[in-house]
């Protein structure tokens, strides 16, 4: 259905791989191993062989660039929905982590390049144990339901919702927002978030019409457009 899938044994980072070529809309690169997997905010994304699904998709949206940040929301929603099709209840932790229960199962790194937007997704599939420093905050599909799955079958489940939601960042964004609000794990919860302006605490009241987080504190409800880190407190 319009995807072309390139499967590599090893690469530095699937996002970087897409930056080095000129790829069509719908080109997907998957790697068994990333030697320099990257997370948001310059973090390292570890994926030990066999445990994780690491892939990046080149999208060339017809919508204006200013709307591309919405792809991060679309991708998080797509992963959560795909996991639902596997029988695993998952939520989106705004802006774009995917959680099972209170633990992160997937992270997303969207980068705009001249040709389009690269959507990089890292999902813990078969990981049985995490390093001690993240074992309280990370989970995998296997830990959720003890089912062995191949990365191929998981990828196949994720691509259709990714196509569907990434095509709804323009006129149909309201539909995306509706589904995102249903899956937002932060709504009603007390959080502390780090923004460029400093750290702020409050209770999340939901997601606004532009995809922003609505944070209620003593000064009322404020829209948060971007945050480096959101911690549940």
> Of 6 and 216, which CB lies nearer to ligand BTN in the complex structure?
6
Rounded Cα distance, 162 and 199, in Å:
32
- Classify the C-alpha dihedral 155-157-158-162 as positive or negative: positive
> Of 106 and 144, which CB lies nearer to ligand BTN in the complex structure?
106
Minimum CB distance to ligand BTN, residue 111 (Å): 9
Minimum CB distance to ligand BTN, residue 198 (Å): 21
Query: Assign residue 208 a region: left if phi > 0, alpha if psi is -120 to 50, beta otherwise?
Result: beta
> Of 15 and 166, which CB lies nearer to ligand BTN in the complex structure?
15
**26 burial class (0-12, 13-18, 19+ CB within 10 angstroms)?**
middle
Minimum CB distance to ligand BTN, residue 108 (Å): 6
- Binding-site ranges for ligand BTN (CB under 6 A): 13-15, 34, 37-40, 43, 45, 54-56, 97, 107-109, 120-122
> Of 136 and 217, which CB lies nearer to ligand BTN in the complex structure?
136
Question: Please, what is the Cα angle at 54 between 53 and 60, to 5 degrees?
Answer: 125
Minimum CB distance to ligand BTN, residue 120 (Å): 3
Tell me the residue number closest to ligand BTN, measured at CB: 107
Rounded Cα distance, 90 and 49, in Å:
24
């Amino acid at each position: 259905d319009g995807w072309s899938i390139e499967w590599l044994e090893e690469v530095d980072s699937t996002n970087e791989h897409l930056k080095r070529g000129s790829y069509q809309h719908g080109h997907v690169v998957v790697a068994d191993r990333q030697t320099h997997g990257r997370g948001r905010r310059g973090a390292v994304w570890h994926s030990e062989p066999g445990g994780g699904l690491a892939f990046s998709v080149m999208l060339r949206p017809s919508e204006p660039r200013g709307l591309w940040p919405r792809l991060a929301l679309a991708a998080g929603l797509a992963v959560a929905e795909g996991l639902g099709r596997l029988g695993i209840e998952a939520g989106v932790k705004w802006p774009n982590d995917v959680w099972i229960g209170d633990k992160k199962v997937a992270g997303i790194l969207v980068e705009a390049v001249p040709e389009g937007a690269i959507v990089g997704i890292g999902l813990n599939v078969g990981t049985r144990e995490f390093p001690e420093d993240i074992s309280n905050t990370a989970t995998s599909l296997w830990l959720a339901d003890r089912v062995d799955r191949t990365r191929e079958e998981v990828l196949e489940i994720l691509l259709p919702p990714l196509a569907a939601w990434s095509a709804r960042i323009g006129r149909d964004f309201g539909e995306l927002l509706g589904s995102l609000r249903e899956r937002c794990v932060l709504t009603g919860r007390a959080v502390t978030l780090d923004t460029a302006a400093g750290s702020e605490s409050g209770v999340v009241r939901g997601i606004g019409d532009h995809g922003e987080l609505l944070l209620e504190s003593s000064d009322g409800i404020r829209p948060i457009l971007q945050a480096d880190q959101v911690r549940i407190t």
